[in-house]
Amino acid sequence: MSFDLVGGLPSTGMEQGTWNSLEIAKLVVAGLTPLFVAIIGFWLNRRLKSLEQAQWSQQKVIERRIKAYDELAKPLNQLFCFFCYVGSWKELDPPTLVRLKRQLDQTAHVSAPLFDQYFLQRYNALIDRCFATFGRWGDDAKLRTLPDRRQEAAGGSWQGEWQGCFAAREEASEPSDVKAAYAELMAYLAQAIGAVEVDAHLLGAAQIPGNFDRRAAGMVSRTRPDKEIMVGQEG
């Protein structure tokens, strides 16, 4: 038994033991608090560095996507102009379009890992509307458009061998189908580099010249994927 120095009353060993336990707990808490703070600070620091690294990596991906966009945008627009009879279509000859496809294919497939799976789906949708491929071994892709107005516009500069650059007349695509595929691809690319939307109505009318008889040409619209529609005929 001991005595309380203040009140002069005896103090039991149990009370003293309780006091010692509380003091020990306080000391333990006081000692662990800096450790907890250090652990939390270390975790937060690593988390912030991880977020910074992810943000840096994403920024680099966006930069590479923008570079890919810069390489694709002009030749894609040339395709659009040629097949939709707008802009500089008269300045582009058939062999140039065949070479343009090779250039686009190389850039698109090299850049594909920077995008998700929908990039090549949209790219191939446009290319398939512009070119007939998988012909005879060694043959170039054929232009899925009509040569008539192009030959007329070229005049004396038209080369006879250019006729072989075109697919069969029944394989010619509607300009409106090309425009739709082009607008979808460009909207996708714009979104992929951080732009919110693309104004598809600025892409032009994309209509075949009015002096062509679409029914006679046998042109096929593939806007509806489940059914081919002969232009000029009902449903």
The 10s digit of each residue's pLDDT in 170-200 is 999 999 999 999 999 999 999 999 876 555 4
Instruction: Say which residues have a Cβ less than 8 Å from residue 171's Cβ, sequence separation at least 6.
Output: 132, 142, 144, 220
The per-residue pLDDT for 15 is 52
The per-residue pLDDT for 3 is 46
Tokens encoding 218: 């046998």
Instruction: DSSP for 156-203, please give it.
Output: GG--GGGGGGBPPGGGPBPHHHHHHHHHHHHHHHHHHTT-----GGGG
Is residue 52 left, alpha or beta, with left meaning phi > 0 and alpha meaning psi from -120 to 50? alpha
* Pairwise CA distance, residues 101 & 208, whole Å: 22
| 228 pLDDT higher than 50 | no
The per-residue pLDDT for 37 is 75
The per-residue pLDDT for 206 is 45
| 138 pLDDT higher than 80 | no
The per-residue pLDDT for 214 is 42
The per-residue pLDDT for 99 is 94
pTM of the model: 0.65
Q: Kindly report which listed range (11-20, 47-56, 83-92) carries the lowest average pLDDT score.
A: 11-20
Mean pLDDT, rounded, of the chain: 77
| 226 pLDDT higher than 50 | no
